Amino acid sequence: MMQQPSPANGPLLDVNDLVVEYPVGNKIVHAVSSVSLQIARGETLGLVGESGCGKSTLGRAVLQLRRPVSGRVLFDGQDLTAMQGDALRRMRQRVQLIFQDPIASLNPRRRIGDIVAEPLIIAGVKDPAKRKQLVDDVLSAVGLDPALVVGRLPHEFSGGQCQRICIARALVLNPEFIVCDEPVSALDVSIRAQILNLLEEMKARYGLTLLFIAHDLAVVKSVSDRVAVMYLGRLCEVGPSEQLFARPAHPYTALLIQAIPMPDPDVRPAETVPVGEPPSPISPPSGCRFRTRCPRADQQCSDEVPELRTVAPGQFVACHHPLI
Nearest CA to 43 out of 183, 191, 176, 187 is that of 176
Residue 138 beta carbon to another protein: minimum distance, rounded to whole angstroms: 20
One symbol per residue from 42 to 71: x for binding another protein (CB under 8 A), - otherwise; what is it? --------xx--------------------
User: Residue 255, interface with another protein (CB under 8 A)?
Assistant: yes
Closest CB to another protein among residues 82, 262: 262
Residue 23 beta carbon to another protein: minimum distance, rounded to whole angstroms: 21
Among 131, 164, 221, 320, binds another protein (CB under 8 A): 221
User: Residue 86, interface with another protein (CB under 8 A)?
Assistant: no
Q: At what angle do helices 159-171 and 189-206 cross, to 10 degrees?
A: 10
Among 218, 283, 299, 303, binds another protein (CB under 8 A): 218
Which segment (17-25, 65-73, 128-136, 237-245) binds another protein by CB under 8 A? 237-245
Give the integer Cα–Cα distance in Å for 221 and 228. 11
Among 40, 125, 225, 247, binds another protein (CB under 8 A): 225
Scanning residues 162 to 201, which ones bind another protein (CB under 8 A)? 188-194, 196-197, 200
User: Residue 87, interface with another protein (CB under 8 A)?
Assistant: no
Closest CB to another protein among residues 102, 119: 102
Closest CB to another protein among residues 86, 264: 264
- 26 contacts 75 by C-beta, under 8 angstroms: no
User: Residue 269, interface with another protein (CB under 8 A)?
Assistant: yes
One symbol per residue from 274 to 313: x for binding another protein (CB under 8 A), - otherwise; what is it? xx-x------------------------------------
User: Residue 262, interface with another protein (CB under 8 A)?
Assistant: yes
Closest CB to another protein among residues 74, 168: 168
- Total number of residues binding another protein (CB under 8 A)? 47
User: Residue 24, interface with another protein (CB under 8 A)?
Assistant: no
Among 241, 249, 297, 308, binds another protein (CB under 8 A): 241
Among 3, 9, 26, 272, binds another protein (CB under 8 A): 272
Nearest CA to 59 out of 102, 11, 108, 96 is that of 96
Residue 279 beta carbon to another protein: minimum distance, rounded to whole angstroms: 10
Closest CB to another protein among residues 41, 132: 41
Q: Positive or negative CA dihedral for 189, 278, 239, 59?
A: positive
User: Residue 85, interface with another protein (CB under 8 A)?
Assistant: no
Give the integer Cα–Cα distance in Å for 154 and 165. 9
- Interaction site with another protein (CB under 8 A): 50-51, 158, 160, 188-194, 196-197, 200, 215-219, 221-225, 241-242, 245, 255-269, 271-272, 274-275, 277
